Structure 1
Amino acid sequence: MFDNRLSLAVAFSLIIFILFAIIGVFSLAQNEEMAETLIQTLQNEMFAFVADDNPLVLAGKLFFNNLEASVLLFIGGATLGLLTIFILMTNGVIIGFVLSYASEKTGYLPILASIIPHGILEIPAFLIAAGLGFLLSESLWTEFKGQGDAAIDAKTLGRKFIVIVIPLLAFAAFIEAFITPQIIDLVLQGV
């Protein structure tokens, strides 16, 4: 299910993501005012997203939000990978920016507690979806050159998406809604 080509595509996705996360970290240092504006916007959107929901409803919202992003990463391959790259770049910058900002305000422990429990599944799911998108792009290019069959490859890649990415996202959403808040509370209480 996870072959060498997919491993390389996921590694390529990870490199793009990390590179732009680093850019996000350094962009914070360049413009503190922009940082405050971006953080306030993200907080407002996140608060509206999670407000007044029980954990089961929140898990559903998180799952479908992350599924949408993952589908875009995957089908972004149909744009010769340009959409996939753009999404990885944008999310990398935002993640780097937010992590840097938040760690300055609260320290690393609360940030790690809020990301690691579900992030160990969610981030790989995004990177695998992006890797599948790059393989879709490669397949379309190969067919354009008169070799291969992109439709057959897309079907195989779609199966991998369903078997690998969707379960990772479902478990991550459950953890993020039910377990991560408990861990954050423990960390903030100093337990």
Structure 2
Amino acid sequence: MTSSKFQYCKTLIKRSFINNKYLLLLAFLLCFLSMFIAIFFTENLSNIMDPFIHGLKRQISSGQVTLTYNSIFLNNISSVFRMYIGGLFFGILPFISLVFNGLLVGYFIGRGPVLIVLLYIVPHGIFEIPGIIIASAAGFTLLKFVLNYLHKLIKPDYAYINENNIKTNDGVLINKDNISFKNKIIISWGKNKHILIDSLVLLAISAILIVIAAFIEVYITPGFAHYFIKNFHLI
């Protein structure tokens, strides 16, 4: 990668985070508030979380769910894309995913032993949790693009048209009297395409983090946790 391309990618990533900082903050707060709620109200959540955990254990023991790199990678990547596309449905799916993942992690920590749970979560969690947060923010950003695009399709931004000197095929500056539906589509796309690009950048970053997390979860976390448990007599 040349220095100019690297600089372009760096600028694009920086812009994507800055432009959507409030959506990233929202995703962060949803995840970690859910986590803290589960830590402090573990007993109250047992009726909800225990059936899910027992069901997952049965699936693992029966072989329906395997803990190989491929299975974890495919599960996590599909979750990332579901959160992204699910953003189109008024952000409901990324919202549910953030809350559920936060509750699940917090529930395990609340049940303890805390140190052992953290040993099995932290190594891959430092990549997976940010990956989930960023994927959800990407879904929210995708929703923002669609809403802004439709809004500017219905109500064209004539200030944007004047600033960019956008004209008809006849060379006449577009205005309320001569704007066509095709013009509206093109102008709304030009005005809002950077939001879609931002969402795709965030999606790509989350996917990279999830790939790293899956590798660590399979090949590093078990040995890491076992080493500390065995050598420091944590059980």
Q: AA paired with 2:214?
A: A
Q: Tell me, in whole angstroms, the C-alpha distance in 2 between the residues paired with 1:151 and 1:110.
A: 46
Q: 1:100 — aligned with what?
A: 110
Runs (4+) of structure 1 exceeding 6 A deviation are none
Deviates more, 1:149-158 or 1:8-17: 149-158
Gaps of 5+ in 1: 52-57
Q: 2:116 — aligned with what?
A: 110
Kindly, what percent of the aligned residue pairs are identical? 23
Q: CA deviation at 1:60?
A: 1.7
* Residue from 136, 139, 148 that aligns with 2:142: 136
Q: Tell me, in whole angstroms, the C-alpha distance in 1 between the residues paired with 2:34 and 2:150.
A: 30
Change (3 A) 1:108 1:190: farther
Change (3 A) 1:13 1:32: closer
Residue 20 of structure 2 aligns to a residue whose secondary structure is helix
Q: CA deviation at 1:90?
A: 2.1
Q: Tell me, in whole angstroms, the C-alpha distance in 2 between the residues paired with 1:37 and 1:25.
A: 18
Q: 1:5 — aligned with what?
A: 19
Q: AA paired with 1:87?
A: S
Q: 1:55 — aligned with what?
A: none
Alignment of 1:24-35 (within 5 A): 24-30=38-44, 32=46
Higher relative contact order (CA 8 A, sep 6+): 1
Deviates more, 1:140-149 or 1:13-22: 140-149
Change (3 A) 1:13 1:138: same
Q: 1:73 — aligned with what?
A: 83
RMSD of Structure 2 on Structure 1 (CA): 2.4
User: Greater helix share, 1 or 2?
Assistant: 1
Deviates more, 1:16-25 or 1:35-44: 35-44
Change (3 A) 1:76 1:37: closer
Residue 148 of structure 2 aligns to a residue whose secondary structure is helix
* Residue from 199, 215, 218 that aligns with 1:177: 218
Q: Tell me, in whole angstroms, the C-alpha distance in 2 between the residues paired with 1:74 and 1:95.
A: 21
Q: CA deviation at 1:144?
A: 2.1
After superposition, what is the alpha-carbon deviation per residue over 1:64-95, rounded to whole angstroms, capped at 9, x for unaligned? 11111111111121112122112212222222
1:157 and 2:199 are equivalent in the alignment: yes
Q: CA deviation at 1:43?
A: 2.6
- Tell me which structure has the larger Cα radius of gyration: 2
Q: CA deviation at 1:133?
A: 0.9
* Residue from 140, 145, 152 that aligns with 1:146: 152
TM-score (norm 2): 0.67
Gaps of 5+ in 2: 1-12, 154-187
Change (3 A) 1:31 1:119: closer
